[in-house]
Each structure stands twice: as C-alpha cells, then as structure tokens.
C-alpha cells in the first residue's frame, strides 16, 4: 500500500515539476520574443473623427496613431465615446487625399509618423561591427547643434518610430537627434529578427551608432532610451569604447532591474512567484538559450542597477516614468534614483507602458527639452533649472519629482 502511494506521489511531483518548467520556458520565450506582425482592421474616417475597434489600448486617453495599410499615418486624439465594440476618437491629423469612409489600419502608440515631421531629416545607414548596417534617422541641423547629439534607443518589440516621440524635445533644445535601429530589428541588414537578448548584444549596435555620431562631428552625446533601451544604455556606459563622449542619460520607463520586471510579469499573469526565478534560469542556461533560439545565454538576474552588483551611470541622468506603469514597475526607477546621486526622476500618471509622451505630451516635451537646455558644455551635473516649483521626495541619492506643475 505504501509503495503505490509513494509511486503516485512521485508521479505527481514529476508532473508538477514538468509543468513548472514548461511555464518557466513559456515566460522566458514571451520575454524575448520578436515583435509580432501588425494586425490590421477596419476603421472609419468621418470629418474630424475616426472610429476604431475597441481594445484596451484604443480606449486610452491621449494622442496616438494609426498606420494605414498603404503606409500612411493618421494621428488620433482623445476618445470621444464608446459604441459597443468601437471607439470614436478625435482625428488630430489626416494625410492629404484621405477621404471620409472606410479604411484599413493598425493601432500604434507612434503619435509621430515620420522623422520629417520633427525636423530636417537624413536617412542614414550606421555601419555595424558585426557586419551590415542599421538604418537610422539623423534629425536636425549639425551646424547649429555645435557638437551636441542625442541618440534615441527604442525598447523591446518596438521600433525607431516609437523612439521618435522623444526627438522633438531634443531638436527643440538645439541638439541633433539620431534615432536608431539595432539587432533584432527588421530594419537591420542583414535581417536579424532573432529573439532579444535583453540588451546584452544590442548595446554593441548602439555603440556603433555612437561611433557614427562622433564621425559626424558629435562631441557630447546624451542617450535617450526607452524601456529595454535603458538596459542598452547602461550596458553601453559600462562597455563602450566611446564612454567619455556620453555626458548624460534620458531614460523613459526604463528597465533597470530585470528581476523586478520578470517578477511583475509573472504576478500579472497570476503564475506562481517561483516561475520568475525559473524563467531567468532558463534564459541563463546554454540549453535554455539553445531551445529559445538565442545567440547567447542571457543572465537576466545580473541585469540590475538598483543594488550594488553593477556600477552606476556616473553621468547626469533624467528618468521619466509613470507611477502606474503595468510593465516596468515604477519602484525600480525609485530604487535607482535612491542609489545614484546623479539621477533624478520625474513621475507621470500615464496609463499603459511608455505612454508618458502620448498622455502628457507638453509636459513630456518640456521636461526633456528643459533638462537638455540645462546641460553644461563642461559635463557638470544638471541643476534645477526647468524644474522650479516642483515638489521633491527623498533625502538619499538623486531627486524624485512627484508632482507636476
């Protein structure tokens, strides 16, 4: 009697362990998966409104975009009303020749369609040390920028169109804006749509973009990085051969503590907490990396800058992050600022991930532009110019700006 019970218990334990491993593999795969194909659906243009399918994203407040199936871009404004499974929104702009009526489009957070909407643009190719090139947009006037360049780095499962949202602030502040692609993008040649390594190889392409900017006359570079782009920026600071040229960071909803990000994803999926640690073990093992199609194993547990395991940025750093970000926890940015005295955090209340520019566009623009204007040519720490009248919290490390004007 005891032996059958023991055997049965062993089977149950093995089954549970197998299921746990499968869940861990699933989470790991979801973390690094390439960007999914765009899903197009019917929309209706009518005067100054556009009606779109009702989704969690299309119900959000703010300014967003639609990519039509012919490649044109439409800017949508605030939601006006919900009609069953459709949302009626303001039509903020429409391409020339777009008539009222039915169209086919896909929803996007990319509220700026093209770099030419920001300023004078050159479409350039950045040579990569791994071979091939990465397409980029060079926006602004080099002669008036006086050697000041910003490099805009998008996040996981995004594209340089997403990072384009921070370019107007840089150009308006008198800096050049180089908006780049990197490994994993369809835009890189040769095509390299392999799973992400969470920045551990992508940073090299951004370092090549730094070298390109220096070849074009850049003397001072600020990395403006979104989400996983924050990981890339921190790795570039640690390893770049051009480290001395980087004089500052602007980080939007940055992934600066991957264990926290993974824990949050697992909690949101209502999975056991142990799955988070197991998924990171899968990513960090040779066998797991091979099964996931990774070029190299990824030690996600080591990708954190909120403890003592890795050095801080060592340059003035501005973080823009929503307190209610569902993907990259705001607490990670708070922990980062508490540790690093050169960092300051400006808190937003935008719903969704990386929607600060969409829901508070003027404040987002002015925060970044003001910070860049306050940059001294000598690389001194940014002062409080541009943030007067805001309330601050925290006595350790950097400053946390918790209230808007």
Predicted pLDDT at 306: 95
Asked whether residue 315 is domain-assigned, the answer is: yes
Q: Are residues 315 and 213 in the same domain?
A: yes
Q: Where are the alpha helices (DSSP H) in 114-201?
A: 142-145, 160-163, 167-172
Q: How far is the C-alpha of 136 from the C-alpha of 147, rounded, in Å?
A: 18
**Domain of residue 82, CATH code:** 2.40.10
Asked whether residue 275 is domain-assigned, the answer is: no
Q: Are residues 250 and 323 in the same domain?
A: yes
Predicted pLDDT at 400: 63
Which of 74, 108, 142 lies at the terminal end of a domain, its last residue? 108
Predicted pLDDT at 381: 40
Report pLDDT digits (tens) over 166-180.
Answer: 999 999 999 999 999
Predicted pLDDT at 157: 84
Q: Are residues 236 and 313 in the same domain?
A: yes
Q: In Å, how far are 38, 61, 80, 361, 405 from 77, measured between CA atoms? A: 21, 8, 9, 12, 23
Predicted pLDDT at 20: 64
Which of 108, 124, 151 lies at the terminal end of a domain, its last residue? 108
Mean pLDDT of 322-348: 96
6: pLDDT confidence band, cut at 50, 70 and 90? very low
Report pLDDT digits (tens) over 77-116.
Answer: 999 999 989 999 999 998 888 999 999 999 999 999 999 9
393: pLDDT confidence band, cut at 50, 70 and 90? very low
Q: Are residues 101 and 142 in the same domain?
A: no
Q: Which domain holds residue 121?
A: 115-257+303-401
Q: Are residues 195 and 328 in the same domain?
A: yes
How many beta carbons lie within 10 A of that of residue 141, not counting itself?
11
Q: Are residues 88 and 172 in the same domain?
A: no
Q: How far is the C-alpha of 333 from the C-alpha of 346, rounded, in Å?
A: 10
28: pLDDT confidence band, cut at 50, 70 and 90? confident
Asked whether residue 276 is domain-assigned, the answer is: no
Asked whether residue 197 is domain-assigned, the answer is: yes
Asked whether residue 178 is domain-assigned, the answer is: yes
Predicted pLDDT at 186: 61
Q: How many domains does the chain have?
A: 2
Q: Are residues 89 and 120 in the same domain?
A: no
Q: What percent of the chain has pLDDT over 70?
A: 84
The per-residue DSSP string of 248-285 comes to EEEEES---BHHHHHHHHHHHTT--THHHHHHHHHHHS
Report pLDDT digits (tens) over 32-45.
Answer: 777 677 889 999 99
Asked whether residue 286 is domain-assigned, the answer is: no
Which of 84, 108, 132 lies at the terminal end of a domain, its last residue? 108
Asked whether residue 295 is domain-assigned, the answer is: no
Predicted pLDDT at 387: 34
Q: Radius of gyration of the chain from Cα atoms?
A: 22
Residue partners of 320: CB distance under 8 A and separation at least 6 = 250, 251, 252, 253, 346, 348, 356, 364, 367, 368
Residue partners of 64: CB distance under 8 A and separation at least 6 = 57, 58, 75, 76, 107, 108, 109, 110, 111, 358
Predicted pLDDT at 145: 92
Contact 386, 366 (CB under 8 A): yes
Report pLDDT digits (tens) over 243-284.
Answer: 999 999 999 999 999 999 999 999 998 888 999 998 989 998
Predicted pLDDT at 391: 31
Q: Are residues 133 and 104 in the same domain?
A: no
Which segment of 20-29, 68-77, 303-312 scores lowest on mean pLDDT?
20-29
Asked whether residue 278 is domain-assigned, the answer is: no
**Domain of residue 246, CATH code:** 3.40.50.1820
Report pLDDT digits (tens) over 7-22.
Answer: 444 433 344 445 566 7
Q: How far is the C-alpha of 135 from the C-alpha of 180, rounded, in Å?
A: 7
378: pLDDT confidence band, cut at 50, 70 and 90? very low
pLDDT for 348 beyond 50: yes
Predicted pLDDT at 309: 84
Q: Are residues 96 and 170 in the same domain?
A: no
Mean pLDDT of 54-71: 95
Q: Are residues 321 and 187 in the same domain?
A: yes
Q: Are residues 161 and 73 in the same domain?
A: no
Mean pLDDT (the chain) is 86
pLDDT for 336 beyond 70: yes
Q: Are residues 89 and 195 in the same domain?
A: no
Predicted pLDDT at 75: 97
């Amino acid at each position: 009697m005891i032996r059958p019970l023991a055997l049965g218990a062993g089977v149950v334990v093995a089954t549970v362990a197998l299921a746990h491993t499968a869940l861990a593999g699933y989470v790991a795969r979801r973390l690094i998966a390439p960007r999914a194909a765009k899903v197009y659906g019917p929309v209706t243009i009518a005067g100054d409104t556009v009606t779109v399918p009702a989704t969690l994203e299309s119900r959000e407040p703010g300014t967003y975009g639609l990519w039509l199936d012919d490649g044109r871009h439409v800017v949508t404004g605030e939601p006006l009303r919900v009609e069953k499974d459709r949302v009626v929104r303001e039509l903020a702009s429409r391409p020339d020749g777009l008539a009222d009526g039915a169209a086919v489009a896909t929803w996007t957070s990319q509220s700026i369609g093209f770099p030419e909407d920001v300023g004078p643009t050159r479409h350039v190719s950045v040579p990569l040390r791994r071979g091939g090139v990465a397409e980029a947009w060079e926006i602004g006037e080099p002669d008036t920028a006086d050697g000041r360049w910003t490099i805009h780095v998008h996040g996981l499962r995004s594209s340089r169109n997403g990072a384009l949202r921070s370019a107007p602030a840089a150009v308006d502040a008198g800096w050049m804006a180089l908006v780049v692609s990197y490994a994993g993008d369809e835009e890189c040649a040769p095509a390299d749509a392999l799973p992400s390594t969470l920045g551990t190889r992508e940073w090299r392409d951004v370092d090549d973009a730094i070298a390109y900017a220096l070849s074009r006359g850049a003397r001072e570079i600020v990395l403006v990085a979104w989400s996983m782009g924050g990981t890339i920026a921190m790795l570039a600071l640690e390893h770049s051969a051009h480290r001395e040229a980087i004089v500052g960071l602007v980080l939007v909803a940055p992934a600066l503590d991957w264990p926290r990000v993974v824990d949050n994803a697992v909690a949101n999926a209502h999975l056991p907490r142990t799955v988070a640690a197991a998924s990171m073990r899968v990513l960090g093992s040779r066998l797991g990396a091979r099964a996931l199609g990774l070029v190299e194993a990824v030690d996600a547990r080591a990708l954190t800058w909120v403890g003592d395991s890795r050095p801080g940025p060592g340059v003035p750093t501005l973080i823009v992050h929503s307190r209610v970000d569902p993907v990259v926890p705001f607490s990670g940015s708070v922990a980062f600022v508490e540790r690093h005295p050169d960092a300051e955090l400006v808190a937003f209340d935008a719903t969704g991930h990386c929607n600060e520019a969409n829901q508070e566009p003027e404040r987002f623009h002015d925060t970044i532009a003001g910070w860049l204007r306050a940059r001294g040519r000598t690389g001194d720490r940014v002062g409080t110019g541009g943030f007067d009248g805001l309330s601050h919290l925290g006595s350790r490390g950097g400053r946390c700006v918790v209230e808007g004007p």
